[in-house]
Structure 1
Amino acid sequence: MRELKDSYDIVVVGAGPGGSCSAYEAALNGAKTLLVEKSQEIGEPVRCAEAIPGLEDFNIKPSDEFVRSKVKGGYIFTPSGKRIKVSSDKATGYVVERKIFDKYLAIRAAKAGSKIMVKSTVVGLERDGDEWVVEIEYLGEIYKVRSKIVIAADGVESNIAEYAGLKAKKNPLEVCSCAEFEMVNVKLIDSEMLEFYFGNEIAKGGYAWIFPKGDCANVGLGVRDRKKKAINYLYDFLENELVKDRLKDATPIELKVGGAPVSGPIEKTYTDGLLVVGDAAGQISPLTGGGIYLAMDCGLMAGRVASEAIKNNDWSEDFLKKYEEMWKKKHFNMLMDHLKYRKILEKLNDEEIEELADVLGDSLEDIDLKKFAKKIIKRPSLLKYFKEIVF
């Protein structure tokens, strides 16, 4: 490949939001950086519902180029159709066009100085002294490049961390299977509100959603059920009494499928000369399956620490552990809380979901734990699930 060099300071594997943000931050801080993406087009295939809070947190100005809808909150629906309005600062954000947004992030990394290889797959990773030899397959040819640090941002199926001896493989039972149609002619309740549907018949072990997306809407779900496929749950959801009148004229223009690891972060996200970011690291909410914001934020941290390591001529495990300390300080407690809540919710039957909705009321902002405890203590059927939280 004409522009491929023999060696780099940092090789980032995977040009999703986490990888591109890692490459951006590393290159911005002067590190010689290569970003490797296995797809022939960055942003493809799309595997998520495309919602993200707080672009401004990353000094990214929301643009009509990639923002399809602005979000001011959401509605949660029980199996019977009871509706709870969610309105808090944490519920605001955007629905983006991932095909464009991911490419925007990669372009930003390139403008900062990172080189990019597309349709390129890392097929091997070997230690040679205190550096890595990275084997990259491109158009049938194998290229070998040396790198002081590798950042593994290669998604839920991550192989890179495993190559380096870290335990990153996800338990299939802890991966939420997702299926989604992008549809036109969807009758939305509110073009600035997300919709979430819960129930064991609707989406066992997960939830269904309708997200506004400009002239379209993302209609999908995530489930943890090995007896019935996500796509079959989706077909059934389209005919559910709660939504079928609003979807009767809707037609799909795209089908998206994928998996979201919802077991929480992996045990360790660093070793000598290597960091793990995003879905590969389990940096995704076990409760909502949302991971774009986390991947971007942790990616920036990884790029920053990696570039500091290069400047200090020290990419040992002892130095790189700064990365894990940084992201855990900011996000770990939230991830573990979300894991706890997910495990509670998946135990509830539909009647208990309805009862929980009665406790929460018609509107939900930030939950006042003391008020919640006073209400839940009067509901013995629910208290057994929430003891750990309220006491």
Structure 2
Amino acid sequence: MKDIIIIGAGPAGNIVAEKTAEAGLDVLVLDWRQIIGDKLCTGIIGKECLDKFPPREEDIFHEVKSATLISPNNKTYRITRSNTQAAILNRVSYIQSFANKAKKYGAKYDLEHRVTEIKQNTDHISIKAKYKEVLKTYKCKLLIISSGFNTPLLRMVGIETHNNKSLMGSQIEVEVEKPLETQVYFGKEISPGSFGWLVPLSKSRALLGVISKEKTQENIKYFLNKLINEGKILDLNYNIKSWGIPISPINKTYKNRILITGDAAGLTKPTTGGGIYYSLLSGQLAAKTSIEAIKSNNLSENKLKEYQSAWKNIFGKEISISHYSRLFFETLNDEQIEKIISLGFEFQKELINESDFSFDWHSKVILKAFKIKKMRESLMKLVPIIPSILLKK
């Protein structure tokens, strides 16, 4: 019997495997994919994530110091910082680097194994997984579910799923006419209630994408044609890919002998849908709780709930404020978005200084917008109904 079985070899699952194997535990990772880290994602991480979980130099496509916002009326607003704010990564290689460390410490990986059954017993968890036509059975003391958004494994263990608390993302890798910097686009034709992006990978390649609560296929086609007509990208045959993104945590991320991490737990940034950093943080916290639980032979809910308390303490409030900010933004029409972007740049010096701005933590800037008296008054005239959490002093 294994000490820990982790289902899902993404950022959360791999860092749990790395840290628990390093602590001397017997660890197995199961994943249905053939290639570790092969998931639709823009691959952007912020400065804090770069510092805490540094990628290899060869995994960095592009560092970000500036970005251009394009409003619904096609006006451009440029944000520039003196230091690197984020980096665009080769996501597959970056996520594989954590798996390689886990393997070095003794963790085992069974890829192309799709879990079909999870049974909770008094003294262990039993798992059935299908590899090609072979059905295998595993046992473990503790199960970590890190298998991504809307995973059916939560239903297998009797934990609620995300229901409608999610977004849909669509993305294409495109060829660009000339080198560019990160661009963020707003407007209902591109992405109702959200935004689209054009993110450089190299001098000639970029990722074009949108996220929204609505179906995104038609929006990304409109966006693609718009940028082709503007001469920003080449008119070629592109393959559109889509994926789901949680924007709110599930209520309970633990159970007897079970922890849930990363996207499976809904631990992403609701404002942007970014999940790599919060997945890595939640994986670290789950690893700490797991090591303590295994070594003390206490795998009860009462012990494992320490994991949920830990992640709530670090980014629970951040997720809550960002979630309400997203709900607020989704109510705006293009005219209101246009005015809010203009207002933000009018108060840019007060709103976004070097110490306050963070790619990974958005709540400080969001709340500051409602604390600057003139900006608060302008926002309340523009949008009379604002969530109370954003108005707290």
Q: Report the TM-score, using the length of structure 2 for normalisation.
A: 0.88
Counterparts of 1:261-340 in structure 2 under 5 Å?
261-262=246-247, 264-340=248-324
For 1:355, the equivalent position in structure 2 comes to: 339
* Contact 2:324–2:387 (8 Å) recurs in 1: no
CA deviations 1:150-205 (Å, max 9, x no partner) are 000011121223222211x222x432111111112244443xxx221111121013
* Kept in 2: contact 1:48–1:256 (CA 8 A): no
Is there any run of 5+ residues in structure 2 with no aligned partner, and where? Answer: 357-364
Q: 1:177 aligns with which of 168, 185, 188?
A: 168
State how many pairs are aligned.
373
For the 8 Å contact 1:359–1:376, the answer to whether it is kept is no
Structure 1 254/22 Cα, relative in aligned 2: closer, same or farther at 3 Å?
farther
Identity within the alignment, %: 26
> CA–CA distance in 1 between the matches of 2:323 and 2:81?
21
How much has 1:148 moved relative to structure 2? Answer: 0.6
Structure 1 residues 89 and 274, CA gap change in structure 2 (3 angstroms) = farther
Post-superposition offset of 1:93:
1.7
Give distance in 2, aligned partners of 1:181 and 1:244. Answer: 17
> Does residue 1:165 correspond to 2:154, yes or no?
no
Query: Which residue identity lines up with residue 223 of structure 1 in the other structure?
Result: S
Structural mapping, 1:91-170, within 5 Å: 92-167=85-160, 169-170=161-162
Aligned to 2:40, the other structure's residue is in SS state coil
SS at match of 1:260: strand
Residue 208 (structure 1) aligned to one of 188, 192, 196: 196
Taking a change above 3 Å as real, the CA distance of residues 11 and 157 of structure 1, as seen in their structure-2 partners, is same
- Matches of 1:290 and 1:238, distance apart in 2: 22
**1:280, distance to aligned residue in structure 2 (A):** 0.7
Structure 2 counterpart SS, 1:121: strand
Task: Report the secondary structure of 2:378's partner residue.
Answer: coil
Alignment CA distance shift 1:301-1:211 (3 Å): same
Q: Distance in 2 between matches of 1:111 and 1:387?
A: 48
Shift of 1:90: 11
Q: Which secondary structure does the structure 1 equivalent of 2:341 belong to?
A: helix
Partner of 1:18: 12
Matched position secondary structure for 2:193:
coil
Question: Amino acid of the residue matched to residue 27 of structure 2?
Answer: T
Q: Which amino acid is 1:316 matched to?
A: S
Higher relative contact order (CA 8 A, sep 6+): 1
Equivalent pair of 2:70/2:77 in contact (CA under 8 Å): yes
8 Å Cα contact 1:369-1:390 kept in structure 2: no
Paired AA for residue 290 in structure 1: G
Q: Quick check: 1:38 aligned with 2:24?
A: no
Work out whether 1:240 is the aligned partner of 2:226: yes
Q: Which amino acid aligns with 2:333?
A: N
RMSD: 2.2
* Matched residue SS, 2:289: helix
One-letter identity of the residue aligned with 1:9: D
Task: Find the aligned partners of 1:186 and 1:231 in 2 and give their Cα distance.
Answer: 24
Instruction: Say if 2:328 and 2:387, in contact at 8 Å, map to a contact too.
Output: no
Asked if the contact 2:179/2:202 (under 8 Å) is kept, the reply is no
1:260 and 2:245 are equivalent in the alignment: yes
Normalising by structure 1, report the TM-score. Answer: 0.89
- In 1, the alpha carbon distance for the partners of 2:77 and 2:370 equals 20
Q: 1:379 to 1:15 in 2, by over 3 A?
A: closer
Q: Cα distance 1:118–1:12, how it changes in 2: closer, same or farther (>3 A)?
A: same
Q: Is the CA contact (8 Å cut-off) linking 1:180 and 1:218 kept in structure 2?
A: yes
Q: Which runs of 5+ in 1 are unaligned?
A: 1-6
Aligned partner of residue 31 in structure 1, secondary structure? coil
| Bigger shift: residues 232-241 or 313-322 | 232-241
